[in-house]
A and B are shown apart, each in its own frame.
Chain A
């Protein structure tokens, strides 16, 4: 059984004095006579001096060891110095250092022969344990009393106060040093990361420049192509007008001199010309989609727009006995009116055209407000098409049916797609051959790609808080990019 009484750090000269004073004090309180007090204090002083001088400082612990009636006062002094090289020689008194180290150990062993133990490992430190039997005659003060008395002494001593403050300071310094170390490490990591980022950024920059170059080239090519298409369309129209003019003149003014066959040929020429003219017109429209500046965005009431479109087609609807179903809730779109009208007109025309041979032809136009966008659905019960062509139908001049069966140039859906691209919308189709086709057009609730329109129409922004949020998100994105630069 052992009971700790006190602990003293040995780091400075003053600590050696404090340690031996502590040893003497405790010895006195434990009831040792003056001579033994002097022995214990001297032996402790010898070892503590060695600890400071050779062991780079250490700790002295005072405690009582052993069972009752054979207890002894023990002082253990341990350091973490280099250890003692030739311990046996020192203990046998064969060795004596010039500075008196061996002398100290031997001397203390001589002073306290009851218990003397020395444990030294090279490179790990030395622990010296000194002990003396507690005197039987004297009545030792209780351990609690000793501890209390020591604590009081410590509180009174200004040196002790400075020492404890010093300890705190050292601990704080150590903490700061550790933090500093950590900071340096993190900093190093950051620097490395930064180097990586810079390298990545450079790479990105390279790629961006290449992309920009490619984009510019593409834009130039596109521009050239557009000009080319426009010129071709215009130049084609002029001779076409001549051919039509002359053919009509022949058919009207010189009708009498012509055989029936010649008149038939003329009507075929005029009809073919009309088709060609339509084709060129569509081509021009298609090209115009790209060349036109940003379209004007206005408030459009979907219901009345569709009503208008159906009114224009009243004649053909009545003629073909088409059953038209319209189910449009109150939807106001902020969009490019001409473009939307063209999209819907094309889809309705297609529906009427391709359902023409059904009995009875039915078309339906519906609209719904789904969360993210508005959806317009145009369906018919006409010839339909195979779903494997569902992407091909949007190609320019791509036709799934022959002109003899259904008139048309094959530009309609291509134009529809192009306009929807401009509006930020989308189109998809569902169809089955012989059972009809359904086209779904989806339009965004507010055109976010065209900030100009928002300036022109601030109301729409107020009415549509979502768009505001989206715009904010977009702006944030920009600021993030700036930050990265």
Chain B
């Protein structure tokens, strides 16, 4: 598989990683997401990693990077469906995904995104007003 599909659901982008990612694929996802975000003017990104058996430092860093980029581009990122084993491994690896928000499943993730986007949206409008 050359690309991981990115689906637009409402004002969010949904990425469901169904394959075991190799490094190049992860890099491409990062590029695709930024492009799509600009194109669709989405306000949040939901990354479902429930199919991933492992998350090594590279993929972990990639997820962290994606979250940071989205944040810079004005969007929120929520990672959902992380397996317990993966969570433990990430901690043992010493990866601190401090800038990544997580949720248990897609439903809760979307909920979280809505809350986040609304609060930022309000801030954003305030910001706009301030500029005027």
Report which A residues bind B (CB closer than 8 A): 13-14, 16-17, 20-21, 24, 34-35, 37-39, 41-42, 45-46, 49, 53, 100, 103-104, 106-107, 110-111
Contact = CB atoms under 8 A, between A and B. Distances in A.
A1 to B, nearest CB: 30
B11 to A, nearest CB: 33
Contacts of B20: 17, 20-21
30 contacts: A13-B24, A14-B22, A16-B23, A17-B22, A20-B20, A24-B53, A24-B54, A35-B89, A38-B53, A38-B54, A38-B83, A38-B86, A38-B89, A39-B92, A41-B53, A41-B54, A42-B54, A42-B56, A42-B89, A45-B56, A46-B58, A49-B56, A100-B57, A104-B57, A106-B94, A107-B95, A110-B92, A110-B93, A110-B94, A111-B92
A476 B83 CA distance: 88
Contact of A111 (B24, B83, B86, B89): B89
Contacts of A45: 54, 56, 58
A103 B53 contact: no
B88 interface: yes
A34 B24 CA distance: 26
Contacts of B53: 24, 37-38, 41
Contact of A37 (B22, B85, B94): B85
Closest 6 CB pairs of A and B: A38-B85, A13-B22, A45-B56, A107-B93, A41-B54, A42-B54
B112 interface: no
B52 to A, nearest CB: 10
A107 B89 CA distance: 10
A50 to B, nearest CB: 10
B61 A100 contact: yes
Given A24-B53, A100-B61, A42 B93 contact: yes
B25 interface: yes
Nearest to B20: A17
Given A35-B88, A49-B23, 5 more contacts: A20-B56, A49-B56, A100-B57, A107-B56, A107-B94
A18 B60 CA distance: 19
Interface string B24-47: 110000000000000000000000
B54 A35 contact: no
Contact of B23 (A13, A34, A37, A42): A13
A291 B57 CA distance: 107
Contacts of A24: 53-54
A35 B92 CA distance: 11
Contacts of A21: 20
